[in-house]
Amino acid sequence: MNWIFVLVAFLLGIANTTQSGVNSQLRIALDNPILAAIISFSGGLTVLLISYTLFNTSAVPPLDAFRHISWWKFTGGLFGAFFVTSVIMIVNNLGPANMLCLIVAGQLISAIIIDHYGWLGFHVQPINLARITGVIFLIVGVYLILKN
């Protein structure tokens, strides 16, 4: 296992929790969750455009190439908008630990199903006893954290 990927994944968890709090505070300041999400995405878009300008080394595909891409492959931003806007609206009610436990539970359950069937271009990784046991432990952990 490449430990740099493990470290980056761990840092993503920290960033996700921090982003939830920052965006929630922006929502409170603006009294508008959708505007807060727009501003959040605008900041992300700005960083991506700057990064693309500075670091991209591959050619931009011709416009014709976009016509041959399945429509559903363009829906990632919709999921991102749903995620960020929903987090902005619920994190203060649930608290970051409870919210993220539920998010991780949903992520893990959907991930093992996606892995099992090889959906979305992933390699098939069948559901087995170890994975089911991991999900059960996760659900027990979520229950214990939510129980307070």
Q: Are 133 and 140 in contact (CB under 8 A)?
A: no
Residue 117: alpha-carbon gap to chain centroid: 21
* Spatial separation of the C-alpha atoms in residues 62 and 54, rounded to whole Å: 20
Interior angle at CA 50, CA 79 and CA 53, nearest 5? 110
pLDDT at 146: 83
* Spatial separation of the C-alpha atoms in residues 136 and 141, rounded to whole Å: 9
pLDDT at 139: 87
Phi, psi of 32 (to 5 degrees): -160, 105
Q: Are 116 and 124 in contact (CB under 8 A)?
A: yes
pLDDT at 73: 95
Q: Are 146 and 101 in contact (CB under 8 A)?
A: yes
Please give the average pLDDT of every successive group of 10 residues along the chain, which has 148 residues: 89 92 96 96 96 94 93 94 95 91 90 95 96 91 84
pLDDT at 101: 87
Q: How many helices (H) and strands (E) does the chain have?
A: 6, 0
In this structure, what token pair is assigned to residue 146?
A: 């939510």
In the chain, the N- to C-terminal Cα span, in Å, equals: 36
pLDDT at 21: 93
Predicted model pTM: 0.84
